[in-house]
């Protein structure tokens, strides 16, 4: 089996590379991909770069060029659910694009003709995520994630996204990966660590080192169970 692991930032894939140590570096489509052997499985890792276009390109490349059969996206998100705290972990039950606006044509926010407003993630991969969280002894939330090509830190914008999409977290890549995977019939899971809370307009400090250690343990254990 070949599966893909994507992070928007180098820091989000570096711990996986450090853990496995042995990997092949491949250049394709203006990006760098890392091929890792994990037992009888092959993992392709990549830093997509920030934003929906780069994330969609990376996911498409992994599936169409490298033959990935499952995709995991790991990164950070801002909370718009007031019960989420900095450092909390969640997986997206479904995702939407909050910056798609065709309301002038009487479509709802986030809707693109020929598709749906929300894309559901894979229930089997999500079940593995819940199982791994239980084994590692920490809580994982299940929520709706909204994506857009903008860093959202204004309280009124967060509130609008929350009310419009009933979303729990906001970020800049997940929904584009979801659209690619849905159309290419590839199961996917979007994992996000909360980096800033709903009440703060500025990015909160959180323990990046500790979150990184926890997340790498989480992703590696998911790899073993897939």
User: What would the pLDDT profile of 178-203 be if each residue is shown by its tens digit?
Assistant: 999 999 999 999 999 998 877 764 45
**Which among 122, 168, 182, 196 is annotated as catalytic?**
196
Number of Cβ within a 10 Å radius of residue 109: 18
Most distant pair of Cα atoms in the chain: their distance: 53
Q: What digits encode the pLDDT tens for the residues 200-224?
A: 644 555 555 556 567 778 888 888 8
**Which among 12, 122, 168, 173 is annotated as catalytic?**
12
Q: Distance from CA of residue 125 to its chain's centroid?
A: 13
Q: 196 an active-site residue?
A: yes
Q: What digits encode the pLDDT tens for the residues 73-121?
A: 999 999 999 999 888 999 999 999 999 999 999 999 999 999 999 999 9
Ramachandran area for residue 127 (φ above 0: left; ψ -120 to 50: alpha; else beta): alpha
Least confident of 69-73, 113-117, 121-125, 222-226: 222-226
Q: 200 an active-site residue?
A: no
Of the CA atoms within 13 Å of residue 212, those in its CB half-sphere come to: 15
pTM of the model: 0.92
């Amino acid at each position: 089996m070949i599966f893909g692991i994507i992070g928007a930032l180098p820091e989000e894939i570096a711990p996986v590379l450090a853990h496995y140590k042995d990997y092949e570096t491949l250049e394709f489509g203006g990006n760098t991909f890392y091929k890792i052997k994990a037992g009888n499985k092959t993992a392709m890792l990549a830093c997509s770069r920030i934003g929906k276009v780069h994330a969609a390109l990376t996911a498409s490349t992994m599936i169409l060029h490298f033959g990935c059969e499952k995709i995991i996206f790991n990164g950070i998100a801002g909370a718009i659910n007031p019960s989420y705290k900095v450092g909390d972990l969640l997986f997206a039950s479904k995702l939407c694009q909050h910056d798609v606006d065709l309301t002038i044509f009487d479509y709802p926010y986030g809707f693109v003709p020929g598709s749906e407003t929300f894309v559901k993630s894979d229930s089997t991969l999500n079940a593995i995520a819940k199982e791994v969280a239980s084994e590692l002894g920490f809580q994982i939330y299940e929520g709706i994630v909204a994506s857009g090509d903008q860093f959202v830190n204004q309280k009124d914008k967060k509130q609008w996204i929350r009310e419009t999409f009933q979303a729990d977290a906001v970020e800049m890549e997940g929904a584009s990966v979801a659209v690619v995977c849905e159309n290419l019939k590839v199961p996917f899971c979007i994992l996000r660590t909360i980096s800033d809370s709903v009440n703060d307009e500025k990015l909160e400090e959180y323990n990046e080192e500790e979150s990184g250690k926890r997340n790498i343990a989480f992703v590696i254990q998911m790899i073993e169970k897939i």
